[in-house]
Amino acid sequence: MKTIATLALVALAASPALAQEKDWNFGDGVTPERWSTINTDYALCDAGLNQSPIDLGMPNARGDVQLETNFGTGDGTIALGTEKVQVDFEEGFGMNSGGKEFNLIQVHFHTPSEHAVSGKRYPLVAHFVHATDEGELGVLGVMFEEGEANSALTEIVSGVGQGKGTSVSFDINDMVPADLDVYRYMGSLTTPPCSEGVNWHVANTPMTASAEQIAAMEANLGPSARSLQPLGSRLLVAPD
Ligand SMILES: [Zn+2]
């Protein structure tokens, strides 16, 4: 079981060696990327019916999703690559969604946010990537709007400036809204190979980041949001 979880981690975390072999790029965030034309391994990106991100503005159900996080102050390691700013975590943190335990693997960022709400995208999003012991993936997305500086982002931006492999320490809770009401649906990785079966949670309440923090993330990431994908026949639960 551990092996499957580790495989998922490798695919998502992309070791430095894998990052150098990256053969795809984000586009303008609107035009379909057509990643399947680059590599046949990415067929699902264009053929899949359960892809991410989506516009969260048209939910077809409402309810309080049972989500509890087990976050705290922990050590992480900065991982960088083309269109990638990420912090890899040691074991110990996670979330429980609907009774299922997910272990936190890493948090990475996109500028602008990938999910939209009625067409609106935020300037920055954090994706907390988790996996169960069986390798099932679960992500918690937290949007950031411009406002007060975020203390965890201060530590991360500083670490990014020092380069990959830099150790950082911050309270993960500082990046998560106190009232954790979430949108919930089943989707995919937003990057090739666009694997489906990802348990998506997107916080309804945005956090704030300073203009300087957002600019620093944009400088390292560039445009890094995938185009919006159709909801199709999926269930999309919005918070009450
Ligand atoms: Zn992401």
What angle in degrees, to the nearest 10, is found between the helix axes of 151-162 and 211-221?
Answer: 40
Q: What is the pLDDT of residues 114-142, one digit of tens each?
A: 999 999 999 999 999 999 999 999 999 99
Q: 14 pLDDT exceeds 90? A: no
CA 99 – ligand 1 centroid, Å: 24
Tokens of 106: 């890493």
106-122 as b/e, with b when 16 or more CB fall inside 10 Å? Answer: bbbbbbbbbbbbeeebb
CA 120 – ligand 1 centroid, Å: 17
CA 104 – ligand 1 centroid, Å: 14
What is the domain extent for residue 86? 2-238
Q: Can you say how many angstroms the Cα of residue 183 is from the centroid of all Cα atoms in its chain?
A: 14
Q: Can you say how many angstroms the Cα of residue 58 is from the centroid of all Cα atoms in its chain?
A: 21
**CA pair distance 114, 52, nearest whole angstrom:** 8
CB 150 within 8 A of CB 209: yes
Domain with 126 in it: what CATH number?
A: 3.10.200.10
Domain count, the chain: 1
Q: What is the pLDDT of residues 26-78, one digit of tens each?
A: 999 999 999 999 999 999 999 999 999 999 999 999 999 999 999 999 999 99
Amino acid found at 10 = V
CA 108 – ligand 1 centroid, Å: 6
